Amino acid sequence: LVGTVERGVTTEGERIVDALRRVAGGERLELGASALVAVLLLTAGTVGVVGLNVDYWNSASEEDRAVLQWAQPENDLQRTMDDVAAIADGTDGTDVLFYGTSVGGGTQFYVANESSLDQPPPGGPSWHSRLPLPWYLERAGATVNSSAPDTPPDEALVDAPPVVIAHDDAREEIAAELDGYAVREHRFKLWGEDIVVFLDRDALSRV
């Protein structure tokens, strides 16, 4: 498979890593069917596929950013996201709140203006840290909001929506504010990152 990919993306005498850098720089690439299948097989064989988990890899042009990332969550997240979609289908107003935190010196999950995500490239400042969850939520038609990392949990979770998503590090500080919610923990990415998804039990019982 690696050989098929290499033949499909490289020019004469070029290493595959140089070819990938060339593509990342903005050059469009046409893959033959066999090379495309090989890329998909290699990708699927690396980790359990629950869906595309992506990030933005800057190219030379702001408008031509390529969508790439290597980490994917475990497959059991799919069941939780199916429940989230069902809850969102029966909810008016905000369906999902991302509880923003500061992890490892960076902001996680917080987007200052969710409507800014309607136009590419998304940012805001940390939309990318949510990936791949936005793809599932977009498919479900869920209305999403987030809280700033410096907002106290009792303020951030006033009138909380039926779904709250947070890093596992914040689990204890928000659990007291989410009485009546079931909580599910999931491995999120390849480097031991965990998330917790709080689901309103009443909303969950109706789906």
Quickly count: other Cβ atoms within 10 Å of residue 134's Cβ.
18
- Could you say which of 47, 68, 89 is where a domain stops? 68
Q: At residue 114, does pLDDT exceed 50? A: yes
- Could you say which of 43, 68, 93 is where a domain stops? 68
- 87 shares a domain with 59: no
Across the chain, what does the average pLDDT equal? 74
Q: Can you give the residue range of the structural domain that contains 60?
A: 2-68
pLDDT tens-digit readout, 156-181 = 999 999 999 999 999 999 999 999 99
- 201 shares a domain with 101: yes
- 194 shares a domain with 97: yes
Banded model confidence at residue 56, pLDDT cuts 50, 70, 90: very low
Sign of CA dihedral 87, 89, 93, 96: positive
- 93 shares a domain with 42: no
pLDDT at 110: 93
Range with lowest mean pLDDT among 52-56, 62-66, 92-96, 131-135: 52-56
- 108 shares a domain with 51: no
d(C-alpha 19, C-alpha 196), whole Å: 39
One-letter amino acid at 38 equals: A
Mean pLDDT of 116-139: 79
- 21 shares a domain with 120: no
In the chain, pLDDT over 70 holds for what percent of residues? 58
Burial of 28 (0-12, 13-18, 19+ CB in 10 A): exposed
- 92 shares a domain with 47: no
Higher pLDDT, 27 or 144: 144
- 174 shares a domain with 139: yes
pLDDT tens-digit readout, 66-108 = 444 545 555 678 899 999 999 999 888 999 999 999 877 788 9
The Cα-based distances of 199 to 59, 81, 168, 170 in angstroms read 38, 11, 15, 16
| SS3 annotation, the chain | CHHHHHHHHCCCCCCHHHHHHHHHCCCCCCCCHHHHHHHHHHHHHHCCCCCCCCEEECCCCHHHCEEECCCCCCCCHHHHHHHHHHHHHCCCCCCEEEECEEECCEEECCECCHHHHHCCCCCCECHHHHCCHHHHHHHHCCCEEEECCCCCHHHHCCCCCCEEEEEHHHHHHHHCCCCCEEEEEEECCCCCCEEEEEEEHHHHHCC
How many structural domains are present in the chain? 2
pLDDT at 156: 97
Q: At residue 52, does pLDDT exceed 60? A: no
Banded model confidence at residue 207, pLDDT cuts 50, 70, 90: confident
Mean pLDDT of 48-62: 40
- 129 shares a domain with 160: yes
- 22 shares a domain with 61: yes
- 85 shares a domain with 50: no
- 183 shares a domain with 82: yes
Mean pLDDT of 125-131: 83
Mean pLDDT of 53-78: 50
Cα 116–chain centre separation? 17
Q: At residue 154, does pLDDT exceed 80? A: yes
- Could you say which of 40, 68, 96 is where a domain stops? 68
Q: At residue 184, does pLDDT exceed 90? A: yes
pLDDT at 64: 43
In the chain, pLDDT over 90 holds for what percent of residues? 42
